[in-house]
Amino acid sequence: MPVGTQATVKSLSPGDLLAAGTQIILGNTYHLSLRPGHERIARLGGLHRFMGWDGPILTDSGGFQVFSLAHLGRVDDDGVTFASHLDGSPQRLTPERAIEIQEALGSDVAMAFDQLVDPGRPPDAVEAAMRRTHAWAERCLAARSRADQALFGIVQGGVDPDLRRASVAAIAGLPFDGIAIGGLSVGESKAEMAATLDVVADALADDSRVRYLMGVGSPADFFTAVERGVDLFDCVLPTRVARNGQVWTDAGRLNLRNARFLDDPGPIDPGCACEACRNHSRAYLAHLFRAEELLAYRLASVHNVTYTLDLMRRIRSALADGTYASLRDVVTEQYASTGSGSGKPPITDR
């Protein structure tokens, strides 16, 4: 899912998203409730009509942003008090309120309100946040009133296998329409992410619901997660790194700000059929980035979103025709170099 934080995937139009093969996008409850306001969006016909996107939309619950972007006030068993990052105004989010906002936005998939904790916190803090997340999950289910909106629960528990197993048992035991895996891609190592996904995959082995890994990922991360049964992802990386000039290709990462591209007449990626690759050269993009022209951000974003969705399609094909391992090895090698652009994205962008 390309991420449309403020009711737009940065620099892209709905037409660009369709041309890139986008099937579903993500909207941010926290941002939209503060600006332009979910009541306003509801009055204007809901988020789909507001942003001109007819396809499916998943909204997050606001939990991630409240615990990372807002100026956190007080967390209690009922909910969270915080100050808006826009104007410092006092705000309150509870499980019931998170559902109310998402129902006003009218997304196709809503997310339960969870408590995020830094994986570096002491085990008892991670466990306390997990137990609160479980209690809030039940309240979210009780609060929902729209029959036309799916609701996904979120598994927490940090990188502790026992806590993760306990969290899967609690969340998967509830009548959610899908299961999300939260609390990863927040600073833990790649090995910890993989080990945690192993635990979750085992615990969900007999569960047929869709599995969504939140906040992931980079090209290599997709393989780590797909092998462990993940179906759905969201990440700002493709568009965020694009705005810095980094494009993802079958030759690995390229930075179009590099002087060597100023005379390169070839497309960003010869195998790509996106608007940028069809119509423009690396030399043109390199010029646009140096001239700080807005078209640079858009064309690089079009390409990276196309690359990402194409990669997922190639993964599905490779699984079907038995070539998955070779695809994984090639792409993982291409994206194993340093300067990855993966890791924790800036909080304001997520």
- Pick the binder of a copy of itself from 3, 11, 151, 212 (CB under 8 A): 11
Is 261 among the residues that bind a copy of itself (CB under 8 A)? no
Catalytic residue among 16, 114, 221, 234: 234
Among the candidate windows 69-77, 105-113, 130-138, 286-294, which touches a copy of itself by CB under 8 A? 286-294
Q: Which residues contact 150 (CB under 8 A, 6 or more apart)?
A: 108, 109, 110, 177, 178
170/166 Cα distance (integer angstroms) = 6
> Which of 18, 45, 329, 333: binder of a copy of itself (CB under 8 A)?
45
Phi-psi region of 276 (alpha: psi -120 to 50; beta: other; left: phi over 0): alpha
Residue 98, CB-side half-sphere exposure with 13 Å CA sphere? 34
Residue 82 β-bridge partners: 72, 91
For a copy of itself, which stretch binds (CB under 8 A), given 88-96, 103-111, 293-301, 342-350? 293-301
**Residue 60 annotated in active site:** yes
For residue 44, state whether it binds a copy of itself (rule: CB under 8 A). Answer: yes
Q: Which parts of 40-174 are beta strand (E)?
A: 57-59, 71-75, 80-83, 90-93, 109-111, 150-155
Work out whether 260 is an interface residue with a copy of itself (CB under 8 A).
no
Residue 290 engages a copy of itself in binding (rule: CB under 8 A): yes
Annotated catalytic residue 177: no
Task: Please tell me the distance from the alpha carbon of residue 152 to that of residue 114, in angstroms, as a whole number.
Answer: 11
Distance of CA 39 to the CA centre of its chain: 24
Least CB distance to a copy of itself at residue 267 (A):
11
Q: Contact between 348 and a copy of itself (CB under 8 A)? A: no
CA 343 to chain centre: 13
- Which one of residues 43, 92, 121, 344 is an interface residue with a copy of itself (CB under 8 A)? 43
The residues that touch a copy of itself, with contacts defined as CB under 8 A, are 6-8, 10-15, 35-36, 40, 43-45, 50-52, 262-263, 265, 275, 279-281, 283-284, 286-288, 290-291, 293-295, 297-299
Q: Which residues are catalytic?
A: 60, 234
